[in-house]
Amino acid sequence: MNAHLYISGITSSAIAVPALRLLLIVVAFWIVLGLAGLVRPCSLRVVAHLLFPLGAAGCLSVALVAGVFLAANRMSEVMILPLGLPSLPFHLRLDTLSAFFLLLLGIAGTGISTFAAGYFRSGVGTAPALLCLQYHVFLASMAIVILADDAYLFMVAWETMALSSYFLVTSQHRIPEIRRAGFLYLLMAHLGAICILLCFGVMQGGSWQFTFDAMRGASLTPFWASAAFLLALVGFGAKAGLVPMHAWLPEAHPAAPSPVSAMMSGIMLKTAVYGMLRISFDLLHVRFWQWGALMLAMGLFSALYGAIFAAVQTDMKRLLAYSSIENIGIIFTGIGLALLFETCHLPLFAALALSAALIHSLNHSLFKSLLFLATGSVLHATNQRSLGKLGGLIRRMPWVATLALVGTLAIAGLPPLNGFVSEWLLLQSFLFTPQLPHAFLNMLVPLGAAALALIVALSAYVMVKFYGVIFLGQPREASLGHAHDANWLERLGLGWLAFGCIAIGIQPQIVLRAAGAVTGRVLGGAAVSLRSSIWTIVPIAPGQASYSGLILLLGIVGVVGITFVLVRFLAHGRMRRTDPWDCGYPWQTPRMQDTAEGLGQPIRHMFGAFFRMERELPSPSDVNPRYRIHIEDRLWRALYLPMARGVQRLADMAGLLQGGRLAIYLLYSFLTLIVLLVFVL
């Protein structure tokens, strides 16, 4: 079926409208929108009611164009823009891989922009128009990163993305912690960008041509190819938040306004995934199984690390940030597995693993954006970010609670929602690792499957905590009684994302086909991935495993319906309202509920080696007991602080050069001149 589509795509491309041009028009439109706000910089009404909804429309059209491009499986389009430096025009290219990530950007962006229209209210910190400008520049630069076809444009867009998001993160720049978080983010973004720049420098392979086409043609020795791969892994890993380059994520996400967190976590992290895929599967002409193994190990470790740390957080946005690290880990696990299969000449399995990674990227952009936006609504309603001061919001904010429930179920990997599909596909592809031709690898990698199962279970646990503490139980603070539900634009944005979660869960065939269009091109065309119908998806063979979201949904609805009918009409017959059994406790206060710390305690106990804890336990006779626990990342002390100290020491040593005497400074340049002249000699 896919092969058929592939052929029909070639014939239809001749008469089709150039999708790339449409996408560029939308990008230009975003930038115009951003600038338009500057006409009246402090008018919130223009920004909220006109510019952001228009931006959402732009996102929707990007999603449509990319979706049509993928569905038709068109040939890639290229374009040269006469912008930039005189002899270095900008090259652009739209192929199935970039179309898939543009689809992701469009779908998630539509929801986030709609929500943002209702979210940004009384301007605290940055003026609304500036927020609008940075927001739309951020969107446009991400689209250009995905479309870029030369290293020059890629880096320009990449840095624009980093800078605009930095300004968005620090929009409340009067708070010192937020400035600090912003600085850490900018630092990590730049370290990553340097690695990516070096990676491109290696990949041009002596030709000094920086178009991606030239890099595809360059032939590198295994050593230099590996160097390029490692640089890309560090560079893109720093952006994606792969452990140990993750330190900025849990700081920057809580600092940013919620739509920005959603955008960064939902879309920006995926541009790093895109870059990694572009370099390892497209630009580099050789691949080695060691790369896949390394990526697999790092991905699994990140996922486990993120899940464990998410379980012990008490700030809802930090919790989600760690959960992002976990999901990025899962995506990189999938890519690593795909690399392993591909280098061992098992293209069918590689396509399966890669599809899982791609679909998980899309899924994560949906449910993580949804949850970040929901925390934004909670934050607006209560001014509380700490889980210890929330609770019982399901009664006050029924819309947000219901829609967030969809997100939590999806991220926990429960069928029939979308999170299950990708995680199931990834587990399926793990099941084929015994066919790997390396002796130790095929024994060790199945352990990864076990780790993945653990991670998925932990993330479900995290989500129980997240949802239970915020929305269920009794309000922990009296002020929560005044909490109000989200406004209609916010509901619309949340609803769009929740709809996406459900739709992909029930009809995963659609995204599977889109992912198939990508893997078909990336893995050499022959590897048509999945045989599926409207009812079921079948990864490899019908005898082995198949999944049908639709049938499952019908089953769930049927069982619930039958139970309801039976209980309502047969068992009871009539209703009786009474207090529930209170287990012998006549009254319950909010303090008697399980807290966020309490829910994290078992994990803290089991995985104690990961944390650095400081605890203050009150004595039993204390009249006003205060329990305090502070949990720190071990890597922060083990890796980051020594590095910072080293840099400081080096800087101090360099400071010795600055003696203050002019003659000495002149001597420096004189000696440099002499040394260079001797070198010439």
Partner 1 sequence: MLKSQLIAQSLKLLAACLLLISFAMLSRRRTQRLVILFAWQGAILFLSTCLVAYDAGLTELWYSAALTLVLKVIALPWILHRLIQRLGAQWDTEPIVNIPITMLAGLALVIFAFGLAQPISMLATTITRNTLGIALAVILLSFLMMITRRKAVTQVIGFLAMENGLFFAATSATYGMPMVIELGIALDLLVGVFILGIFFFQIREQFDSLDLHHLEALRED
**Nearest distance from C-beta of residue 128 to partner 1, angstroms:** 39
Nearer to partner 1, 570 or 656 (CB): 656
Residue (488 or 670) nearer to partner 1, CB:
670
Of 571 and 663, the one with the shorter C-beta distance to partner 1 is 663
Nearer to partner 1, 578 or 669 (CB): 669
Instruction: Kindly state the smallest distance separating residue 190's Cβ from partner 1, in Å.
Output: 24
Measure the CA–CA gap between 184 and 162, rounded to whole angstroms: 12
Q: Residue holding tokens 């993330």?
A: 459
Task: Kindly state the DSSP code that residue 483 receives in the 8-state scheme.
Answer: -
- DSSP label of 568: I
| String of contacts with partner 1 for each residue 605-644, x by CB under 8 A | ----------------------------------------
Residue linked to tokens 């002149």: 666
Residue with Cβ nearer partner 1 (175 or 673) = 673
Q: At its nearest, how many Å lie between partner 1 and the CB of residue 88? A: 25
Minimum CB–partner distance for residue 663 and partner 1 (Å): 5
**Alpha carbons 413 and 418: distance in angstroms, whole number:** 7
Dist. CA 460–CA 377, nearest whole Å? 22
Query: Shortest gap between Cβ of 668 and partner 1 (angstroms)?
Result: 10
Nearer to partner 1, 576 or 661 (CB): 661
| Contact assessment for residue 612 and residue 631, using Cβ atoms and an 8 Å cutoff | yes
CA distance 251 to 256: 9
Footprint on residues 465-484 left by partner 1 (CB under 8 A):
none
Does residue number 566 form part of the binding site for partner 1 (CB under 8 A)? Answer: no
77-85 and 88-94 beta bridge pairing:
antiparallel
Considering the complex, state which of residue 591 and residue 661 has its C-beta at the smaller distance from partner 1.
661
DSSP 8-state class, residue 407:
H
Q: How many chain residues bind partner 1 (CB under 8 A)?
A: 15
Helices (H), 208-346: 212-217, 222-240, 249-255, 258-263, 269-277, 289-311, 316-343
Which x/- pattern over 245-274 shows residues binding partner 1 (rule: CB under 8 A)? ------------------------------
Q: How far is the CB of 647 from partner 1 (least distance, A)?
A: 19
**Residue 391 backbone zone (phi > 0: left; psi -120 to 50: alpha; other: beta):** left
Residues within window 115-134 making contact with partner 1, judged by CB under 8 A? none
Task: Supply the minimum distance, in Å, between the C-beta of residue 187 and partner 1.
Answer: 23
CA distances from 445 to 134, 197, 449 (A): 43, 32, 7
Least distance (Å) from partner 1 to the CB of residue 653? 15
Give residues 641-680 in contact with partner 1 (rule: CB under 8 A).
Answer: 658-663, 666-667, 669-670, 673-674, 677, 680
Contacts to partner 1 from residues 283-302, by CB under 8 A: none
Q: Output phi, psi for 206, to 5 deg.
A: 85, -5
User: Of the two residues 482 and 661, which places its CB atom closer to partner 1 in the complex?
Assistant: 661
Residues whose CB falls within 8 Å of the CB of residue 101, separated by 6 or more in sequence, listed in order:
146, 270, 271, 273, 274, 361
Give residues in contact with partner 1 (CB under 8 A).
658-663, 666-667, 669-670, 673-674, 677, 680-681
